[in-house]
Amino acid sequence: MMGTSFPEVLERTRDGDPSAFAVLWREYQPALLRYLRVTAHEAAEDVASETWASVTASITKFDGDETAFRAWLFTVARRRAIDHFRSEARRPAVPMDPVVMGSSSLLSNDPDPADATVSTLALESALELIADLPEAQRDAVMLRAIGGLDVAHVAAIMGKRPGTVRVLAHRGLRTLARRLSEEEERAVTP
């Protein structure tokens, strides 16, 4: 969380300062992308880009503190993900092999992909477990844990009552704990 510097960064962003927008992006993009990897799957980066485009187009209309901004950002992301899936349903994509397309430059430029894979393995495993939850539980867990939003904001985003969000998040976390326990038992058992 940015804390006391948030109002200043927000105002500078509204005035068109690209460095201030970069501060917001660096602060919130990691959590946003984790949320979208679970909710939008392979389209996470595209949906994140659409989210930030929407945010920049309407940031002058935003009024609130840092918590409200976070809630607004995740609301926009959720809506862009829904829009993306509606659009995909109307015009399905045909996957292409990047090697066949001759676009190996589109692949990651990381110096050592093995290092990146090892450093994100635990996170990806956790996100896969969360992705397997029923949709409402998944959204509640992701918005609370990854989005860092309180119950009231999650309830507003999901269009549910706060008590329902608490129950959904609790059930989701309980299911995750059970699955992790089962995986640990399988790993230990020869």
Other C-beta atoms lying within 10 Å of the C-beta of residue 151: 18
Q: In terms of Cα–Cα distance, which of 179, 169, 162, 121 is closest to 142?
A: 169
User: Tokens 């392979």 map to which residue?
Assistant: 42
Spell out the residues 6+ positions from residue 78 whose beta carbon is closer than 8 angstroms to its own: 39, 139, 157
What residue segments make up the domains of the chain, in order of their start?
Answer: 1-91, 112-190
CA of 23: how far to CAs of 20, 68, 166, in Å? Answer: 5, 17, 31
Q: What's domain 112-190's architecture? A: Orthogonal Bundle (1.10)
Same fold? 1-91, 112-190 = no
pLDDT in the model for residue 92: 54
Q: Rg of the chain over CA atoms, in angstroms?
A: 19
CA–CA separation, 34 vs 144, rounded Å? 12
CA–CA separation, 167 vs 142, rounded Å? 14
Spell out the residues 6+ positions from residue 107 whose beta carbon is closer than 8 angstroms to its own: 98
CA–CA separation, 153 vs 162, rounded Å? 9
Q: What tens-digit pLDDT sequence spans the chain (190 residues)?
A: 666 799 999 999 999 999 999 999 999 999 999 999 988 888 999 999 999 999 999 999 999 999 999 999 999 999 999 988 887 766 655 555 444 444 444 444 545 555 555 445 566 777 788 888 999 999 998 898 878 899 999 999 999 999 999 999 999 988 888 887 887 777 777 6
Alpha-carbon dihedral sign for residues 168, 165, 82, 60: negative
Q: Which fold has domain 1-91?
A: Rna Polymerase Sigma Factor; Chain: A (1.10.1740)
